[in-house]
Every structure is written in structure tokens, then in C-alpha cells.
């Protein structure tokens, strides 16, 4: 078994589009018994809707090369901006382990779609699916969700962690719901350390609901350390940052919302509710969103330490290893280095993190 | 020139690509956009003393013509200009922790690497862009490239297929391909397209059978089938897609 790494981009790479790389997974880009890794480069914007369903390699990872990744804000690294979205921007339905990571994903407006998402996995027959470290934003009517896990069956389920998702909207008069992250499957799904902001139904005539994070209530599901805020509807539907129904089977807690819905199973607890969005993030200005935490954010040092399970959950949206650095975990996708916690906190965890952090972090991010 | 890229040979997977399936469909517009973005890539451009790009840089010209919003920080105020609506101005100062925002941009864009939100101007008067992208002014962007960069639009109408792709796939020239048609050609066939959970039955709904390519001679087509050899058929007379593309039942 070998790792087959191929570059994807428009400046003398192995493949010029993700779709063409995926079409070669059966041979040159992967092959039986191998692990396939496609590394996107920030040469030009990928305008496509790749479907990943090849079953030849043992595993398939769609990633972005180091030094070419987004910095948590739009337009800062390798990205897919789909100008036409028939179903999803990225649709994964392989029976092999599939990982989508470090990509910025956005799309032009489309028709009022029922299914899919900016990144959607159908776990009808599959192995483990993982969406991590992605920046999914500005997806209007073309997709139902920013990130979607759907389907009735899966061997090992799916994980969605350390993603930033914002401005996922329906703008048309629709009775269909809209989600930032949606896990609608009976199989195990872990939703950890995501930051979701600004899921909306913007049409005053619409009756559909808007939900920041929705995790259907099943045993084996886990919904912790997530931020969902700023969910709105202009019409008659309901706006909830999290599914307002208290789960009885899903593990849920250590979540934060701007309304009263931060998901809590009644045992895990430690939820933060009714917090003000503008107090949490560096920028919520439309077109220049930066959902990194700012000083005094309520999310600082208030998450539970998940260790290193599932694999990679300890890495934040900036690539910082919370586990190796000994950080006290923050809620959401960003681990604030040198962050000042809310009034009343002692900030011990953050100070430890600050000392352990890189010189660049200290110089550029703490002094200003 | 528009292009269709097809699969050579069947994959064993039932819902995988079959011989002749259209994998990619490139309109000339998409090709020109991709080349323009590659040529004007802000991460490859020279930076000024601030570590930013100059206001009159080529990338700035491109963003000024294609991005929805331009942001300017002037004397403790952050203004957002909607470039799609005659530079309509809004004060968004209260929505941004500007010092943190700029610090992170310096941390990412100004260091070596090809990422970070592109920043223009100076650290005292920074400018950046955001929002949606619109390529209605693609011709203007190419005018700038031809005038200031010295690359010709005419030389950039072919998609930059790689050596691997020219070996593994068959690229055909065509004309009259619209964005909508190109998107439709790349769609899979679903068990129930209206279902919430989409199940793929065939990887592509559209293909090009060999018999529909009378302009390509038998010896040439034989070399196409040899996936160890690069073959570029795009010098052939362009096809009309409606003459060669078949929709599967």
C-alpha cells in the first residue's frame, strides 16, 4: 500500500481540475490498495462540482497543499467557487474512507434545492467521511446546507469538525429549511468544534426554517464544542442556532449560541446561551467576515478537551495543535492564542497557550 | 474555443465512468477566466514595503472589475464600497475589530507562501476586497492583461490540460457550449433527482460515442486509446456538441 499524492491546479500541476483528478483515481491518481491524496493549489479558482464516488483506492483525501490554504477568511487560499451547482459543490458517496479538508467552498445562487450541501456526504453504503478545516460560505438557494451528512446507513459514520460555515441562506419564497451543518442519518456522526454564523431565510414570504446546526437524535452521535450564532428568518419559519429539541440519545454540550438553543443533552451541560455575536468574532461585516475569536469572547477556554479523537480534531482552523500545545480548548473552530477570556475568568489556559505558541502568533496577534 | 473532455475506457464500478462519458466541459469563458486568474494571481505578484500589493497593481485592477466589495480603512473608519452598485458606501467600522483583522492579514499574506487575503495599499491605508465575484467585465480584464502584462487573449483560449490528462482522457474542440449546457453535461444520473438523498446510478448522464466522431481517423483514435501517449485533438475542426453528445436513458 502506498500514498499516491497528486497536485491539482492550473500552473503545471498533475491535474488541472479536481474532477479530472477524481476521474483518474482508478489508476494513475490512486489505484487499488493505495491511499489517494489530491492536493489543490491556489493557482486559480476551481469552478466545478466534483463528485467523489470512486471505490478503487483504500482511502481518498481531497486537501490543499501547505502554504496554499485559506487563513479562515474568504479569498485567502485554494477554493472552489461553483458558478453552476446542479446538486452539491462537493458530493462524496464513495464506499471508501473519504476526507475533504482545508478547502474554501462557495457557490453562485442556484435553484431552490431540497438536497445536498456545499460539502455533502451520502453515507448510504460508505466508510468514514470527514469534513474538516473547511471554510464554507455564501451558499444561497443552490444547496440546502453548508455541510450535509445524509443517508440511512454507513459502516462507520462521519465526522465534521473544525470548519467555519457562514452566510448559508435561502433568498427565495420557499417552505424548505436551511442549515449551516446538518447531520441527518441514523448512523454515528461527530460534530465538533465548528463555527457557524448567519444561516438565514431572507425572503419575508418564506415559511421554511433556518437552523445553524442540526444533528438528528441518535445513539452514537456527538455534538460538542460548537458555536452557532446569528440565525435569522424574515418569514414565518423558525430561526434556531441549534435544533431546539433536547436530544436524549446524542451526546451534546459545551456549545454556544446567540439564542437559547445551544444543544445540551442535560447531562453534558456547560452550554453558553444568549451570547452576542459581535462580541465573539473579529469581523461579521458582510464580505469581510473573519470568525476568528477576539479577546473577551465567551468561547475562550470554555470547551471540553476532546484529546485526539477523532483523529485531527485537535487541529484548529489555523493548523494549531491544541493537544500538543497544551491549550485549554475554546469553543468553535479557532483556538485563540493568547486570548483574553470573558470578565471573571482567569485566562490560565490561554496564558499557557500563549507561552507555548509560536513567535509569530505572539508578535503579530497579541500586541495589537 | 469550448472543450469537452471524455473518459477513455470503462471503469469496472457500476456507477463509475464509462467510455465516452463527458468528464469535463470547458466553455471559452471559463478558460479565459482561469488563465486571467492564473496570470494575475496576487500571491505571485511583487509586494511593496508594507508587504502589500500596490493600488495600481494588476491584481488590484482585476479585483476592481470583478469583486462585489472593496474595503478601505481610513482614519479609524472602515468603509465598504459595493462595486456592483456604483461604489455605494457603508461604514462597517462597528462590525470589525480592525486591528485584529489587519494583524492577521499581515501574519498570513505578508509572509512567504501563496495564501492569505490579498491586501493592497499600505499598512496605514489598507484596501482589500470581498463578496461575490462577477466576470461580466472579463473583456476589460483581458484588455488590461494585453496592455500591461503583454500576454495575448488569443493565446489563452485553450484549457491548460496537463500531460497526465492528455494521456488519460480525450479532449475535443467544440463551439456553442453555454455555461448551462456545460453544467448539464457534467451531471451524474441519479436514481431520483428530486430525492433528498441523491443516489448515483451513472457517473454521467451524457457521453460521446466513438461513432459520433467521423472527423477523427482510425489511426488517430487508436493512439487516443493508448493512455501512455499524449494526444491533443484540439487542433481539429470544432464539433457542434448537439451533433455528437448523447443523453443516456
For residue B11, CA distances in Å to A20, A31, A56, A314, A324 come to 14, 12, 10, 38, 43
pLDDT digits (tens, 9 = 90+) for B217-247: 877 888 888 889 999 999 889 999 999 999 9
| Residue B53 shares a structural domain with residue B92 | yes
Domain termination site, one of A68, A99, A121:
A68
Both A37 and A138 in one domain: the answer is: no
User: Final residue of a domain: which of A17, A37, A68?
Assistant: A68
| A280 pLDDT more than 90 | yes
Do A128 and A245 reside in the same domain of the chain?
A: yes
| Mean pLDDT over each residue of chain A, to the nearest integer | 88
A208 and A287 part of one domain = yes
A16 plus A161 within the same structural domain: no
Q: Give the integer Cα–Cα distance in Å for A139 and A112.
A: 11
Domain boundary among A51, A68, A85: A68
**Model confidence band, residue A86 (pLDDT cutoffs 50, 70, 90):** low
Eight-state DSSP code of residue A135 = E
Spacing of C-alpha A213 from chain mean position: 11
Asked, for residue B188, whether it belongs to a domain, the answer is yes
What is the chain B residue with the closest CA to A108?
B132
Q: Do B7 and A84 touch (CB under 8 A)?
A: no
Amino acid A143: pLDDT:
79
Nearest to A115 among B131, B164, B198 (CB): B198
Does residue A35 sit in the same domain as residue A149?
no
Q: Measured between beta carbons, which residues in chain B are less than 8 angstroms from residue A108? A: 132
Residues B124 and B52 in one domain: yes
Under the banding of pLDDT at 50, 70 and 90, the label for residue A115 is low
Distance CA A89, CA A47 (A): 9
User: Residue A85 pLDDT more than 80?
Assistant: no
For residue range A294-322, list pLDDT tens digits in order: 999 999 999 999 999 999 999 999 999 99
Domain containing B210 equals 2-27+157-247
Torsion of CA A110, A116, A119, A121, to 10 degrees: -160
pLDDT of residue A125: 61
Q: Taking 90 as the threshold, does the pLDDT of residue A355 lie above it?
A: no
Instruction: Find out whether B6 and B21 touch, Cβ atoms under 8 Å.
Output: yes
Same domain, A123 and A41: no
What sign results for the dihedral spanned by CA atoms A192, A193, A194, A197?
Answer: positive
The chain A residue lying nearest B167, using CA atoms, is A28
- Residues A143 and A50 reside in one and the same domain: no
C-alpha angle with apex A29: A27 to A35, nearest 5 degrees? 100
A186 and A267: one domain?
yes
**Do B49 and B126 belong to one domain?**
yes
CB A350 within 8 A of CB A340: yes
pTM of the entire predicted model: 0.94
Q: Are residues B120 and B183 in the same domain?
A: no
In this complex, which of B108, B111, B160 lies closest to A10 when CB atoms are compared? B160
Cβ contacts of B24 on chain A, cutoff 8 Å: 17, 19-20, 48
Task: Say if residue B165 is in the same domain as residue B103.
Answer: no
Domain region containing A336: 69-366
Whether A47 and A181 map to the same domain: the answer is no
Q: Average pLDDT of B175-197? A: 89
Q: What is the mean pLDDT of residues A164-193?
A: 92
Q: What is the signed CA dihedral for A84, A86, A88, A93, rounded to 10 degrees?
A: -140
- Which chain B residue shows the shortest CA-CA distance from A32? B12
Cα-based torsion angle of the residue sequence B119, B103, B108, A306 in order, rounded to the nearest 10 degrees: -140
Do B8 and B56 belong together in one domain? Answer: no
pLDDT in tens, A11-50: 999 999 999 999 999 999 999 999 999 999 999 999 999 9
Q: Any idea which of A205-219, A311-325, A332-346, B211-225 has the lowest mean pLDDT?
A: A332-346
Cis peptide before A123 (omega within 30 of 0): no
Same domain, residue pair A83 and A151 = yes
Report the distance separating Cα A54 and Cα A59, nearest Å.
10
Domain ends where: B76, B102, B136?
B136
Using N-to-C axis directions, what is the helix angle for B28-39 and B58-66, rounded to 10°?
140
Name the residue with higher pLDDT: B35 or A82.
B35
Structural domain contains residue B150? no
The per-residue pLDDT for A124 is 64
Q: Residue A364 has what pLDDT? A: 45
| B19 has pLDDT over 90 | yes
The average confidence (pLDDT) of chain B is 94
Q: Are residues B74 and B124 in the same domain?
A: yes
Last residue of a domain, one of B104, B136, B168: B136
Within 8 A of A70 by CB-CB distance, chain B residues are: 115
Summarize the confidence of residues B143-166 as an average pLDDT.
97
Give the pLDDT of residue B238: 93
B203 is a domain residue: yes
Q: How many inter-chain contacts (A to B, CB under 8 Å) are there?
A: 215
Residue at B151 is within a domain: no
> What percent of chain A has a predicted confidence (pLDDT) above 90?
72
B48 and B103 both lie in a single domain: yes
Answer whether residue A358 shows pLDDT above 50: no
Record: contact A285-B96, CB cut-off 8 A: yes
A13 shares its domain with A158: no
Report the pLDDT value the prediction gives residue A339, as an integer from 0 to 100: 65
Other CB atoms within 10 Å distance of the CB of residue B156: 19
Q: Read off the pLDDT of each residue in B85-94 and give the average, rounded to a whole number.
A: 97
Closest CB to A76 among B34, B117, B179:
B117
Residues of chain B positioned with their CB less than 8 A from the CB of A29: 164
Q: What's the total number of domains in chain B? A: 2
* Pair A250, A265: CB distance under 8 Å: yes
* pLDDT at A367 (0 to 100): 39
Q: What does the alpha-carbon distance between residue A278 and residue A280 come to, in Å, rounded to a whole number?
A: 5
pLDDT at B47: 94
Q: Measured between beta carbons, which residues in chain B are less than 8 angstroms from residue A365?
A: 100, 103-104, 107
Q: Report how many domains make up chain A.
A: 2
Averaged pLDDT, B105-114? 90
**A363: which residues sit within 8 A by CB, 6+ positions away?**
none
Q: Which residue, B136, B168, B187, sits at the end of a domain?
A: B136
Residue A359 — very low, low, confident or very high, per pLDDT cuts 50/70/90? very low
Q: Are residues A36 and A75 in the same domain?
A: no
Amino acid at each position: 500500500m502506498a500514498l499516491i499524492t497528486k497536485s491539482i491546479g492550473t500552473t503545471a500541476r498533475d491535474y488541472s481540475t479536481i474532477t479530472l483528478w477524481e476521474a483518474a483515481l482508478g489508476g494513475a491518481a490512486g489505484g487499488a490498495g493505495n491511499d489517494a491524496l489530491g492536493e489543490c493549489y491556489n493557482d486559480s479558482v476551481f469552478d466545478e462540482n466534483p463528485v467523489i464516488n470512486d471505490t478503487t483506492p483504500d482511502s481518498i483525501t481531497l486537501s490543499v497543499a501547505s502554504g496554499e490554504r485559506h487563513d479562515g477568511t474568504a479569498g485567502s487560499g485554494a477554493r472552489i467557487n461553483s458558478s453552476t451547482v446542479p446538486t452539491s459543490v462537493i458530493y462524496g458517496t464513495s464506499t471508501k474512507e473519504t476526507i475533504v479538508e482545508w478547502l474554501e467552498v462557495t457557490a453562485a445562487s442556484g435553484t431552490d434545492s431540497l438536497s445536498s450541501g456545499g460539502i455533502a456526504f451520502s453515507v448510504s453504503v460508505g466508510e468514514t467521511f470527514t469534513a474538516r478545516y473547511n471554510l464554507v460560505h455564501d451558499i444561497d438557494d443552490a444547496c440546502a446546507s453548508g455541510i450535509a451528512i445524509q443517508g440511512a446507513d454507513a459502516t462507520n459514520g462521519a465526522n465534521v469538525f473544525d470548519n467555519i460555515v457562514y452566510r448559508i441562506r435561502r433568498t427565495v419564497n420557499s417552505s424548505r429549511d436551511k442549515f449551516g451543518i446538518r447531520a441527518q442519518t441514523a448512523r454515528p456522526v461527530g460534530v465538533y468544534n465548528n463555527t457557524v454564523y448567519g444561516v438565514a431565510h431572507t425572503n419575508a414570504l418564506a415559511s421554511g426554517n433556518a437552523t445553524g446546526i442540526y444533528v438528528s437524535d441518535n445513539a452514537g452521535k456527538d455534538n460538542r464544542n460548537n458555536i452557532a450564532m446569528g440565525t435569522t428568518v424574515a418569514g414565518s419559519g423558525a430561526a434556531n442556532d441549534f435544533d431546539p429539541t433536547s436530544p436524549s440519545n446524542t451526546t451534546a454540550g459545551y456549545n454556544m449560541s446567540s439564542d437559547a438553543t445551544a444543544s445540551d443533552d442535560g447531562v453534558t451541560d456547560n452550554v453558553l446561551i444568549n451570547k452576542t455575536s459581535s462580541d465573539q468574532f473579529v469581523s461579521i461585516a458582510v464580505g469581510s467576515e473573519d470568525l476568528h475569536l477576539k479577546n473577551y469572547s465567551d468561547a475562550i477556554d470554555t470547551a471540553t478537551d476532546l484529546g485526539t479523537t477523532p483523529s485531527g480534531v485537535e487541529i484548529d482552523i489555523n493548523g494549531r495543535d491544541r493537544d500538543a500545545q497544551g491549550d485549554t480548548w475554546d469553543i468553535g473552530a479557532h483556538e485563540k492564542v493568547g486570548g483574553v477570556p470573558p470578565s471573571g475568568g482567569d485566562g490560565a489556559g490561554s496564558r499557557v497557550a500563549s507561552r507555548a505558541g509560536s513567535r509569530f502568533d505572539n508578535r503579530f496577534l497579541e500586541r495589537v | 474555443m469550448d472543450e469537452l473532455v471524455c473518459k477513455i475506457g470503462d471503469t469496472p464500478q457500476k456507477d463509475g465512468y464509462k467510455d465516452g462519458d463527458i468528464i469535463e466541459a470547458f466553455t471559452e469563458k471559463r478558460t479565459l477566466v482561469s488563465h486571467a486568474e492564473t496570470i494575475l494571481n496576487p500571491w505571485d505578484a511583487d509586494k511593496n514595503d508594507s508587504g502589500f500589493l500596490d493600488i495600481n497593481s494588476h491584481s488590484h485592477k482585476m479585483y476592481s472589475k470583478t469583486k462585489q466589495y472593496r474595503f478601505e480603512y481610513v482614519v479609524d473608519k472602515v468603509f465598504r464600497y459595493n462595486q456592483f452598485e456604483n461604489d455605494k458606501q457603508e461604514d462597517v467600522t462597528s462590525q470589525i475589530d480592525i486591528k485584529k483583522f489587519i494583524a492577521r492579514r499581515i501574519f498570513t499574506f505578508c509572509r512567504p507562501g501563496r495564501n492569505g487575503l490579498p491586501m493592497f495599499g499600505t499598512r496605514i491605508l489598507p484596501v482589500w476586497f470581498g463578496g461575490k465575484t462577477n466576470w461580466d467585465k472579463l473583456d476589460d480584464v483581458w484588455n488590461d492583461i494585453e496592455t500591461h502584462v503583454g500576454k495575448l487573449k488569443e493565446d489563452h483560449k485553450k484549457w491548460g490540460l496537463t500531460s497526465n490528462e492528455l494521456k488519460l482522457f480525450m479532449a475535443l474542440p467544440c463551439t456553442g457550449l453555454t455555461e448551462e449546457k456545460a453544467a448539464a453535461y457534467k451531471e451524474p444520473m441519479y436514481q431520483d433527482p428530486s430525492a433528498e438523498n441523491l443516489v448515483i446510478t451513472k457517473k454521467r448522464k451524457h457521453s460521446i460515442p466513438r461513432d459520433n466522431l467521423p472527423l477523427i481517423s482510425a489511426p488517430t483514435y487508436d493512439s487516443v486509446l493508448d493512455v501512455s501517449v499524449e494526444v491533443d485533438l484540439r487542433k481539429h475542426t470544432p464539433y457542434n456538441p448537439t451533433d455528437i453528445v448523447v443523453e443516456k436513458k
